[in-house]
A and B are shown apart, each in its own frame.
Chain A
């Protein structure tokens, strides 16, 4: 498919050819009907989240008992946090998404974790477990604000101390 000679062409078919320009729902109308479509998934979302929280608990225990296997646990934590950040906001837990997102960004690209990294990582894991244990929906109110601020401050301080400020 990749030709040697660069080409700029108009695709032979466009999706518009199969789309009626009128007669469907506007975005606003569709959004209005979407809550009903999302609601049935809330229960299975919580079940799914529980499996990711279990993975976080397992990783936390493993880090504490066998710190030499940190690489494997790093990946396990990243994968679980990545799933949590990708789903929680859709189902009313944007605070969980925010905490998981910070954790993923912190771990992204790190192959090895120093003692400070592990501490920060575990703080995030504990925060995520707390969000669901306390059922902190929405932005989490005052607790949510404090939690976000604390995690951001810790990360900023850590990066500066570590000479890794980006």
Chain B
């Protein structure tokens, strides 16, 4: 197989961007993806089988057969879990990765989010740390992501965000009914509501039409292609350059290294299960936090007996996501208008600045509810079955608003993705083993956020509210997984440097949510995209024709 300049593992949010940046700059690129490339005709709207509600499995991978993980619960018991189970902490496995079927909120982290330790100090038992980069370093690349991938919204009413040079390329979608109910209530409370920025066309953009506002959004692919992911933006551009080859259904086994400790390519199982080698000048790992860590740990050699980049036992640590809490409000009037995507209004008042709390998170109304979601969101005391339950479904499906948000997690070194010593996947590779739990202070902040959500709903006229502040026994939440290959200046306390380059091996890069030191109180995808643009920019500036020299 022909040697190339770069092999990229994973065609998701970050991998797609890196492929496009390198290929359009003239590098030869092979983009390996273990899943499939789905098209509009695959966009089956199945409320029991999608990436959000996985009762009957994931629509966009991985399959429940042959892709196990091991979850260690807080009592130390281990469970072999399938991708459709919550404790698996899945993200999609397909071209586009999570961006094919996400809700597409397009948040920039705030300046404080990059300086959490300096701002708050590290709570006991935490590994809270500052990033080696700041908001200002990332700002131009946030802008590039907003314009290249395509974001709609209106940032003007949000006074808490970092400075920005430009507005957004598309206006927000017109408000839905929940926006109209929640906006005046927030203002009466002295809060600062604004439309949620979305990686979604509100007008024609990038050659594709606007959102048709159906109810099948988060968890589903968009049948009119109005939702912007890497699969309908940067990956087609990369392929059109003639310099990028995308190979689907290819599972990377390990990163190959030479006698001097530099990477020489990857070994992978192709779509027919044959073991192949793809040699390259550089290797970019963009497989999402858990799988990226797993690949590094599975890349053992004489020089790297504990896996690549793992000399100081940092790979897989500080696994984090978000603790989602909020409240359900029950109204005596109809709040439901069947106008997608549903999520429309947010506040950023509670991300930072509450005395005694180490951060916080945004609060927003939830994506449109399908009937299957109302089953567990009925007023407290509702019968769980029988005619009383059926009547409550009728009474409240159209009279409910959910406000919730991602509480920024306080990371811990004990939140980990490691390799399970026993369980293997369909290719015979050791699977990820997940352990850890939320830091107690994260739970504390989450509880405060839930009360704040309830207060907003009450001001909006809810006759009853119900807090959503359960205690998940896992450290992270699937699609927002981050932190396993922390970015830092100290090789003993991190895996990659500020350019996403592994400290140990100068031609291996980890470019995805893995490098997040902390994960903000926001959905992370726009930050993942911005980092991909920033790391690609640095990589290309150091590119010396046929090889990379730092």
Physical interaction between A and B:
no
> What is A's interface to B at a CB cutoff of 8 Å?
none
